[in-house]
Chains A and B, each alone.
Chain A
Amino acid sequence: MVAFGKIIYLDNAATTFPKPREVLEEMTEVYSSLGVSPGRGSYDLSAEAEERVMAIRHQLSRFFGASDPERVIFSYNATDALNTLIQGLITPGSHVVSSRLEHNSVLRPLYHFKEHGVIDLDLVPFDSEGFIHPTAVAEAIRPNTRFVILTHASNVLGTVQPVEQIGMICRERGVPLLLDVTQTAGLLPIRMNEWGVSAVAFTGHKYLLGPTGIGGLVLSPALDVKTTRFGGTGRDSLSLIHTQAYPHRLEAGTINIAGVFGLSAGLHYVLKQGLEETYTKELAIAKRLRDGLNTIKRIRVYASDRPGQCVPIMMCHFDGMDPEDLSAILDGDFGIATRAGLHCAPLVHQDLGTSPKGGVRLSLGPFNTNEEIDKVLEAMATIFHAR
């Protein structure tokens, strides 16, 4: 196994690595002392664990600019949260608006219902720079539109979408706006109430620096989501009908307690470092990488450099070399971890003309340095000058 410190890790959009030691220590410490079934036992420790979990719901509600901590629902990851959201909102004969920038975590649930004739679906395009136009969303909304669901930032291009304007449109038209904040939570401020966002789906293991296996949904009080998974909640056990009270309405079975504690620890760490400071630092390093790549002939870089409108993710394409081979060379010869392929966002690559093989994604994280970027650029130059 390659020990950490010997690789340059540029696959942070998949999962951030490594996790800060403080996060792992805090997670282990809290789980060691409070890792019991929260709120389900008539012993003090269970009550204390529930209190802690509720405090974390408050912490997340504040972080996402929401107003009701009971509407913070834990899930396994963003895909799980998005499935809960989409399946709990879809009604037969309704219409949904989404975009061609989406990850399969949104596209596949929507296409499942479209293919089964349950919904009509419109996907708005993105422009040559990777941005969705609010007017395109406005034009796609119909009287029977059930919701608009969009990614906050593309996991391929790193472009941050104009959510405030889209939120305003959705609010005016009375259509819930659901946001997939997988690539932005922990990097950019998210203000659900202020932006008119009815729900966010997030994961804990990316820029929130928590462990895998934990994510969640945050809902506005105006949005009710049907229960689609049923089971024990530790409440109202006499009833054979799943409770309709939040958050348990959408949480069946014991939650991932260790994950919840880890998510909280990650969030503590992120806030301690400062969102703006981290974002500014990562964006500066991303600019160094993007500018350097742009000097190498035959490499096409797909990314945005608009401050506040991008996250440190970029995709590269090269004529004459399979993206998977480039990624393998970077890994095997230079110790640089990248992500080749379609990045689970097939329509983005289709529209860019990089389908079916895709490209190589380079995504930065909190621990990348300028020195690492210089090594990546040196490696790229070596590879392409040799050809």
Chain B
Amino acid sequence: MGRDTQAVSGVAEYGQQVRLIAGREIICDRDGFFWDPHQWSEEVAMALAEEAGMKELNETQWRILRFLREYYFENGRSPLNRQIKEGTGISLMDLEALFPGGIKYGARRLAGLPNPASCS
């Protein structure tokens, strides 16, 4: 956990936890995904990136995060796989390599989007 992030309280309903990230109390699920995407800010993203071992986010990474968030708020849901590829102009294979946590635990989580539904 980076210097700007810290778990504030334990598990609540549905595995929720409150974490202190970049000075803000953020409600996350048990996998660290935001419960409320509105709680995201660029400072929060930077703190999460630092926590993942990244010293900074480059322009491509910011572009991806911004696309994910814009798509989410325009459409009320996260983009599908092919929409990420079309919208960012980057293959998912390359995108996965751009973030230490990959697509789901890297890009999607740093963008402050809710946990995508899957069989986990």
B81 to chain A, nearest CB (A): 3
Q: Say yes or no: is A322 at the interface (Cβ < 8 Å to chain B).
A: yes
Chain B residue numbers with a CB within 8 Å of A358 are 119-120
Q: Is B92 touching A332 in the complex (CB atoms < 8 A)?
A: yes
A327 to B116 Cα, complex, angstroms = 13
Report the bound CA distance from A85 to B24 in whole Å. Answer: 51
Q: Which A residues, 335 to 387, have Cβ-Cβ distances below 8 Å to chain B?
A: 339-344, 356-358, 382-383, 386-387
- Tell me whether B119 and A340 are in contact (CB under 8 A): yes
A-binding segment of B14-22, B56-64, B100-108:
B100-108
Contact with A along B73-114 (1 / 0, CB 8 A): 000000011101100000111001100011111000000000
A355 smallest CB distance to B (angstroms): 10
A68 CB within 8 Å of chain B = no
A340-B118 in contact (CB<8A): yes
User: Using Cβ atoms and an 8 Å threshold, which residues of chain B touch A356?
Assistant: 120
Which chain A residues border B85 with CB–CB below 8 Å? Answer: 332-333
CA distance A356 to B81 in the complex (A): 23
A322-B105, A325-B104, A339-B119 are known contacts. Are A387 and B97 too (CB-CB below 8 A)? yes
Known: A321-B102, A322-B105, A324-B104. Contact between A329 and B96, CB under 8 A?
yes
B31 to chain A, nearest CB (A): 10
Q: Chain B residues with Cβ under 8 A from A342's Cβ?
A: 119-120
Expressed in whole angstroms, the Cα–Cα distance for A324 and B96 within the complex equals: 11
Complex interface: chain B residues within 8 A of A325 (CB): 92, 96, 102-104
Evaluate contact between B120 and A329: CB separation under 8 angstroms: no
On chain B, the residues within 8 Å of A339 by CB distance are: 119
Contact of B104 with A383 in the complex, beta carbons under 8 Å: no
Interface size bucket, B side? 10 to 19
Interface of B (DSSP majority class) = helix
> Distance (Å) between the CB of A15 and the closest chain B CB?
13
**Out of A321, A331, A383, A387, which one reaches B82, CB within 8 Å?**
A331
| CB of B78 to closest CB in A, whole Å | 11
- What 0/1 pattern do residues 164 to 181 of A give for CB contact below 8 A with B? 000000000000000000
Inter-subunit contact B102/A341 (CB<8 Å): no
Residues of A within 8 A of B84 (CB): 332
Q: Which residue of B lies closest to A2 (CB)?
A: B82
Instruction: Give chain B residues whose Cβ lies under 8 Å from the Cβ of A344.
Output: 119
CA A341 – CA B82 in complex, angstroms?
20
B93 adjacent to A333 (CB under 8 Å)? yes
What is the bound-complex CA distance between A383 and B81, given in angstroms?
Answer: 16
Q: In the complex, which residue of chain A has the Cβ closest to the Cβ of B119?
A: A341
Question: How many angstroms between the C-alpha atoms of A321 and B103 in the bound complex?
Answer: 10
Chain B residues contacting A332 (CB-CB under 8 Å) are 80-82, 84-85, 91-92
For B93, list chain A residues within 8 Å (CB). 329, 333, 382-383, 386
* Residues in chain A near residue B81, CB distance under 8 A: 328, 331-332
Q: How far is the CB of A107 from chain B (nearest CB, A)?
A: 15
Report which residue of B91, B116, B120 has the largest number of chain A beta carbons within 10 angstroms of its beta carbon. B120
| Contacts A332-B82, A341-B118, A356-B120; A322 near B92 (Cβ below 8 A) | no
If A331-B81, A331-B82 touch, whether A324 touches B92 (CB-CB below 8 Å) is no
A331→B84 CA distance, assembly (Å): 11
Query: Once the chains bind, are B92 and A329 in contact (CB under 8 Å)?
Result: yes
Instruction: Output the nearest chain A residue to B94 by Cβ-Cβ distance.
Output: A386
Asked whether A328 and B91 contact (CB < 8 A) given A340-B119, A387-B97, the answer is no
Partner of A321, one of B91, B96, B116, B120: B96
| A27 and B12 alpha carbons, distance in the complex (Å) | 48
Interface residues of A in 128-166 (CB under 8 A from B): none
Contacts of B102 in A (CB 8 A): 321-322, 325
Give the interface of A toward B (CB within 8 A). Answer: 2, 321-322, 324-325, 328-329, 331-333, 339-344, 356-358, 382-383, 386-387
Q: Which B residues have a C-beta under 8 Å from some C-beta of A?
A: 80-82, 84-85, 91-93, 96-97, 101-105, 116, 118-120
Q: Which 5 A-B pairs have the closest CB atoms?
A: A332-B81, A341-B119, A325-B102, A332-B92, A329-B92
